[in-house]
Structure 1
Amino acid sequence: MSDEQTTEPQNLVKQGSILSVLTLASRVLGLMREMVKAALLGTTPLSDAFTVAFMVPNLFRRLFAEGSISVAFIPTFKGYLIEGDTSKTQTFLSSFITALTVLVTTVVILGIIASPWIIPFFGLTELDETILLTRIMFPYLALISFAALLQGILNSHHIFIPTGLAPILLNITVIGCSYLLTPLMANPARAMAVGVMIGGTLQVLIQVPGVLRKGHRFGYTGLKQAFTNPGTRTVFRLVGPTIIGMAAYQLNDLVSTALAGNAGPGVVSSLQYSLRLQELILGVFAVSLGTVLLPDLAGQAKRNQWGEFNRRLVMAIDIIALITIPITFFSLIQGEYIIRLLFQSRSFDESSVALTKEAFTFHMLGLFFIALNRILAPAFYAQSNSKSPTIAGVFSFFINMILAALLVGPMKGGGVALALSIASGVNTVLLFIFMRRTPQIDMGHIVGSSVRYTGKLLAFSALASIPVYFVSPALYRLFAGKGRLISYGIPLTLTTILFGVTGLILLWISRDALLKMVTQRLNQRLGKHGAPH
């Protein structure tokens, strides 16, 4: 029996908790990275140049990294682990890394060559600088692709700590290079670009020891063997349907960014700052849950353990609702002050605050749906079904693109953000509809439970927002003019406590099942540590 079969649920919970803590650290550091960028670049044309230059290689990241690994590699590799044939597993890994290297290297070379023809579509004033920055950072695509492959191997073994540490190294490196290399380079954007490349290298290296400890030794093979290996062909077959979806996604992202770039200076950067705040929440909870869930759901689907599959999926959806819905309400009330506390300094002036607030308001409306999509998609990938999420993604991305084109004129960055939120909601509805096609999944129970719990949280969050809404003006007047950290930090802390305590009281009164479960586990842990030896 393999170690995957004998992994205890408690250990998975522990790994998931550790990953959440590491992801929280990574997202906080990512936010600090954006704070450094805001301080050095603000929403200037040079900031837009770095944002677009870093975005271009990341457009292909979903296809070669997160996309192919989550959609196809993990379910396929999981099958090899369950089969238990070490030789076949190693041959598959060697073949896949060879094929991945050839494809990614080709895209990187073409991207570097084609940059002067791609970048002008974004309508930026710093055209030459954006092309240079793009060429510096395009090889990051190769680094993050290999890092994702190693992550997929480790996650399949239920090892998540290196996965959490890798982006921490990236953020620390970019922050450090921003300050250490800026005096040595023409501008801070170039220093940050060098930091991205060094950080990407560290993301690969941090995961190598864990893969070696699991006994995996693989290298490169001949091209014919690489592309004809049964495992590699299975991965390509599973990825195949997603290529259309990924192409639509990348086209949508390109068009949205081009629309934002032509809407005025600073709009592209303001959207990026807003998305960074949103990703702080998504990364800690939705991505962590999805990362832990996928290899586990894949194993349950292959063993026909559908009862446990359904139970874990329902719990994951409820956890996402419990986290994202209250945060959405609080952010809509306190969004401006959050932005001022985190970003307002030096180059980030009042116009930057206004631009970012507008984008942030409309981005937060879609937080619940975006988080939910990152939980629902792994449920399909675990069954080696990449077609359904692809169809849902293509449809929603076209809606996003059409709405962004219609709304960017009257609403600028806010219109682009609102289009994303609406399209994310459509994507969620489609995923639920497609999930009904799997008879083993109890959709009646899942949808009914989710709707009831979401409705309760909407009501509780609205009630918890009332005291915050009325107390906030007095608090900000009381601490005004005492420096950014005090003027905004203390009132935000107090209103967060007020909102959280009110919400917890409402959950306690309603005897919320998740709150009860968390309380019981805390009591058990405290009792265990406090018991006499």
Structure 2
Amino acid sequence: MAGTLGSRLSGIVRQQIINRFGDTLLDAFLVAVTVPNLLRELLAEGALVNSFIPVYKTLDEAGRRQLARVFSGLLIAVNLVLLALGVLAAPWIVDLLLAGTSNVDRGLAIYMTRLVMPFLMLISLSAVAMGLLNADEHFRESSFAPVAFNLAAIAALLLLPGTATWLAVGWLVGGTAQLVVQLPALARFGLLPTPALGSHPALRRVLRQMAPFTLTAGARQFLNAYVLSLLTNAQQFPQGTRAGYGNAEALFTMANGLFVVSPALALFPRFSQFAAEGNWPEFRALTVQALRTTTFLAAPMSALLVALAPYAVSLFNLGGDYSVTRFSAGTWILTGWALALVPWAVVTILLRTFYARERTREAVVVSAAGFVLEVLLYRLLVPRLGLLGFGLSTTVSGIVIGGTLALLYRRALGFPGRAVAGHLIRVLPLAALAGLAAWLVSRPLPEPGSIGPGVLGLAVAGSVGLGVYLAGAVALRLPEVRGVLRRLRRSS
């Protein structure tokens, strides 16, 4: 948890440094990093978390070593091919990501796309290292890798000139640090693989698992490309909107990473182990525990971000001279996205239960259909609601995907719907009350915009909201409160 917290907080600092750049440069940079980030979901985090670990957990020690060797070798080969294609096809790729009448400098975006393409190789190898450590439940050693990325990128961005070239180089420096910092732990635990091209029976199982996942990744890539084209439409949104989207994304990712993804990753090896043993009673019990814990944590964060979105986005404005367009766009997008935290907490946990049982096809088909629904909602809501429509579309698709996954889970194992629903009936109104309290307290505070009022609003109003939520949880005797108190005692 400490590593995850450090990663998210240092990520906010990194985003603050990036926000020193003007709208023209920052918008082009965010378009450029979209390309490797889209591919990393398939080749890095997605492949490892959803396909590699369940198969890896079923092997003996010798089988695990051999699988790690051939998997990492194959990943390097694929990355080299994609690196070459990304550099050569950069103009065509950027044109796909921009609207016809774009508010982004096309030439600058193409130049920076070519510079940042090696990031895909760095993050893929880093994900292999993290996956191997997590599979053996060495979470502490891998959790600080993203911190290394952020600290190295921050140092590079502060020391290097503020140009397009050095902004991209700073990103690559961070990716290198994230990989290198994990190598000593891999060597210490005897997990450091020697990449090799070859075959292994388990590799074919991993690739079969990845095949349907490609459908989800492809759908998500289409969704992200479509969102980006909407944001870069100069006829609808001004320059700086894409940068505002990046700020909202950083805050949403921080909350989602701390309170949803981190618990899900920690529990995934246990899900995989119970599935490998066929221990379905413990598997169902772990599902309830995971859903209760993540929604208990995500619900107040959702409500507080809705209530205090302008104060949260103000954290990125280190001075009084900031982009009003960037601030406004970030505020509206974050407000809508915050509503999606709880539905996507449910989706995140349930997807892991399918991947652990190697039921990848069902999960990815549902996810892909959900992403198509999200695109349709964008077309319906964004023209009518503006930037708020992005988050509301994500919220609705999360509810639909989560409900569908729960029905499929129930058909196979008997979904504990009554226990989960009873928990949500108590938690969601309590979170809404906490958000209302925070909003009322924020009314007389200084107007948000720069970092000073932002910190004040979050500290004062946010503390009141959290206090209301925890007091209500104690009054309702929610068992998750004990877990929070235990963590606080350990950290004190």
Question: Is TM (by shorter chain) over 0.5?
Answer: yes
From 142, 153, 160, the equivalent of 2:121 is 142
Contact 2:249 2:334 in 1 (8 A): yes
Residue number in structure 2 paired with 1:250: 221
| Correspondence for 2:429 | 459
Q: Which amino acid is the alignment partner of residue 127 of structure 1? A: R
CA distance in 2 between partners of 1:272 and 1:513 (Å):
36
Is the partner of 1:39 in helix, strand or coil? Answer: coil
Which structure 1 residue ranges, 5 or more long, are not aligned? 1-19
Quote the Cα distance in structure 2 between the aligned partners of 1:220 and 1:170: 23
Equivalences for residues 52-71 of structure 1 within 5 A: 52-71=31-50
| Deviation, structure 1 residue 346 | 5.8
Corresponding residue to 1:375 among 346, 349, 359: 349
Name the residue aligned to 1:487: 453
Structure 2 residue identity aligned to 1:449:
A
Q: How many residues are treated as equivalent by the alignment?
A: 485
**1:380 and 1:386 in contact (8 A); partners too:** yes
In structure 1, give the amino acid aligned to 2:166: A
1:215 alignment partner in structure 2: 190
- Is the 8 Å Cα contact of residues 95 and 229 (structure 1) preserved in structure 2? yes
Aligned counterpart for 2:211 among listed residues 237, 240, 246? 240
Match of 1:340 among 314, 324, 348: 314
Q: Check conservation: 2:315, 2:455, Cα contact below 8 A.
A: yes
Alpha-carbon deviations, 1:51-110, whole Å to 9, x = none? 110111111111100111011111111111xx34x2x33322222222212212111111
User: Could you say which residue in structure 1 is the equivalent of 2:15?
Assistant: 34
Counterpart amino acid of 1:147?
S
Change (3 A) 1:291 1:197: same
- Find the aligned partners of 1:267 and 1:105 in 2 and give their Cα distance: 33
Alignment of 1:371-520 (within 5 A): 371-439=345-413, 442-443=414-415, 446-474=416-444, 476=445, 484=450, 486-519=452-485
Is 1:97 the equivalent of 2:69?
A: no
From 45, 55, 58, the equivalent of 2:24 is: 45
Judged with a 3 Å threshold, the aligned counterparts in structure 2 of structure 1 residues 361 and 109 are, in CA distance, closer, same or farther, namely same
State the partner residue of 2:53. Answer: 74
TM-score normalised over the length of structure 1: 0.86
| Structure possessing the higher radius of gyration over alpha carbons | 1
Q: Which residue of 2 aligns with 1:349?
A: 323
| 3-state DSSP of counterpart to 1:210 | helix
Give the distance between the partners of 1:195 and 1:110, measured in 2 at CA.
22
- Aligned residue identity for 2:388: G
Distance 2:113 2:321 in 1: 23
The alignment status of 1:200 with 2:179, answered yes or no, reads no
Identity of aligned residues (%): 26
Q: Which amino acid aligns with 2:105?
A: E
Cα distance change of structure 1 residues 418 and 491 upon mapping to structure 2, 3 Å threshold: closer
- Structure 2: how far apart are the matches of 1:275 and 1:449? 32
* Cα deviation 1:493-533 (Å, max 9, x = unaligned): 1222221222222112212122145447877x79xx9xxxx
The residue aligned with 1:3 is: none
Moved more, 490-499 or 289-298: 490-499
Letter of the aligned partner of 2:389 in structure 1? G
Q: Residue 164 of structure 1: CA displacement?
A: 1.2
RMSD: 2.3
What is the aligned partner in structure 1 of residue 109 from structure 2? Answer: 130
User: 1:96-155 CA distances to partner (integer Å, 9 max, x unpaired)?
Assistant: 222212212111111111001111231343111111111111111111111111111111
Contact 2:320–2:450 (Cα < 8 Å) also in 1: no
Match of 2:411, SS?
A: coil
Residues 346-373 of structure 1: CA deviation (Å, up to 9, x unaligned): 6633332221111111111111122222
Q: How far apart in 2 are the matches of 1:412 and 1:470? A: 26
CA contact (8 A) 2:306 2:435 kept: no
- Which residue among 143, 148, 151 is the counterpart of 1:164? 143
Residues 92, 333 of structure 1: CA spacing in aligned structure 2 closer, same or farther, 3 A cutoff?
closer
Among candidates 227, 231, 244, match of residue 260 of structure 1:
231
* Paired residues of 1:40 and 1:347 also in contact (CA < 8 A): no
Structure 1 residues 298 and 515: alpha-carbon distance in aligned structure 2, compared to 1, 3 A threshold: same
Q: Structure 2 length as normaliser, TM-score?
A: 0.93
Q: Describe the SS at the equivalent of 2:144.
A: helix
The C-alpha deviation readout for 1:418-466, integer Å capped at 9, x for no partner, is: 2222222222112112212323xx41xx221111111111221233344
For the 8 Å contact 2:318–2:451, the answer to whether it is kept is no
Secondary structure class of the residue paired with 2:443: helix
Q: How many angstroms apart in 2 are the aligned matches of 1:60 and 1:517?
A: 37
CA distance in 1, matches of 2:406, 2:344: 14
- For the 8 Å contact 1:21–1:284, the answer to whether it is kept is no
* Native 8 Å contact 1:260 1:412 kept in 2: no
Taking the aligned partners of 2:441 and 2:195, their CA distance within structure 1 comes to 63
